[in-house]
Amino acid sequence: MKRFGLIGHPLGHTLSPWIHRQLFSLMDCQASYDALDIPPEQLPSRRQELLSLDGFNVTIPHKQAIIPYLKGLNRRASLYGAVNTVCDGVGYNTDCLGFLQALAGGGISLSGKVAVLGAGGASRVFAMEAALAGCMVTIASRASSVEKARALALEVQEKVPGSQVSACDLDELKGPFDVLINGTPVGMFPHGDACPVSDTVIHGCGAVFDAIYNPTDTLLLRKAKAAGVKAVGGMPMLVWQAAKAQEIWLGTSFDSKDVDALVPQATEELMRTFGRHE
Ligand code: NAP
């Protein structure tokens, strides 16, 4: 039996083992997938144990810290300086693939003027992908961390030559935007009554992607839908980044219909785990 896992800290309730087990069964693959809660100070001493696995996923706070223990990085992981999947000692990043697949599945084209809210790990991927797609990107952070947004904008400009990337205070964000992408936790359970931007900004958007997957229907998404704006939540990204990790580990491809069908099932599983709270 093959052995896989997820490392992070603290892990608490995570949907990843459930999603991966469903994906393994789609592939008729006999494999285990366990959540390994590893505090940062234990990462060096657990290295051999991790590299003896057939593959593993990486989440906060190890996405950058794991890099010195790896043989190398693929192009995307190297571009972001962050790894979420390890196979044969090489680091990959499938968050971007999950993100792009989620947009495509929701009929959202990554083009034109794009606003990225937040300047953390997820926003880094969103800003870089939007710049690679040739979009004009605005990264908006809350007042206390506008410097982080500026630093990210500069980094994206350096890594994606010719890209147009700027930064601003979230409270001063002004549309219209073709796509607005939320990479902040504003609106995440248990703060489901919060929305990161004003109704005016939402009404000026062509489409909205919210990376939050708990709840699946955030206030931002509900407001966007009510305004007739295309809106996609974070669950398809979560499921697809897992599928893309398995494709790397198993050297195979999923039928996209099977993966898409897992998205509502993952939402049901989320409800079973956390209870209905929307
Ligand atoms: P992160 O690295 O901690 O970044 C969070 C960003 O949001 C930072 O820029 C932070 O700014 C900002 N922020 C935090 N609280 C805020 C507030 N109250 N108002 C405005 N900005 C705020 O976290 P992450 O890993 O990027 O995750 C961000 C979100 O994406 C989470 O909801 C996570 O669940 C989701 N996510 C989803 C997927 C998926 O597969 N669907 C994958 C990854 C992440 P400061 O620097 O000022 O704190």
- What is the C-alpha separation between 255 and 27, in angstroms, rounded? 10
Are 29 and 250 in contact, with CB atoms under 8 Å apart?
A: yes
**Ligand 1 neighbour 108 (Cβ under 6 A):** no
**With 70 as the cut, is the pLDDT of residue 164 above it?**
yes
Q: How far is the CA of 277 from the centre of ligand 1 (A)?
A: 21
Structure tokens at 170: 């979230």
pLDDT digits (tens, 9 = 90+) for 3-55: 999 999 999 889 999 999 999 999 999 999 999 999 999 999 999 999 999 99
Residue 73 Cβ < 6 Å to ligand 1:
no
For residue 102, the 8-state DSSP code is: H
DSSP code per residue over 255-278: -HHHHHHHHHHHHHHHHHHH----
Q: From the alpha carbon of 236, which atom of ligand 1 is closest?
A: 41
Tell me, yes or no, if 71 is annotated catalytic. no
Residue 105 per-residue DSSP state: H
Tokens describing residue 49: 């144990």
Which of 87, 95, 91 is closest to 16 using CA atoms? 95
Whole-number Å distance, alpha carbon 121 to ligand 1 midpoint, is: 7
Cα distance between residue 186 and residue 111, in whole Å: 24
Could you report the per-residue pLDDT of 77-131, keeping only the tens digit for each? 999 999 999 999 999 999 999 999 999 999 999 999 999 999 998 999 999 999 9
Q: In 160-255, where does DSSP find H-type helix?
A: 199-203, 219-226, 235-250
Predicted TM-score (pTM) of this structure: 0.96
Strand bridging mode 90-92 / 85-87:
antiparallel
Phi, psi of 5, deg, nearest 5: -170, 180
CA 141: distance to chain centroid?
Answer: 17
Q: What is the average pLDDT across 145-167?
A: 97
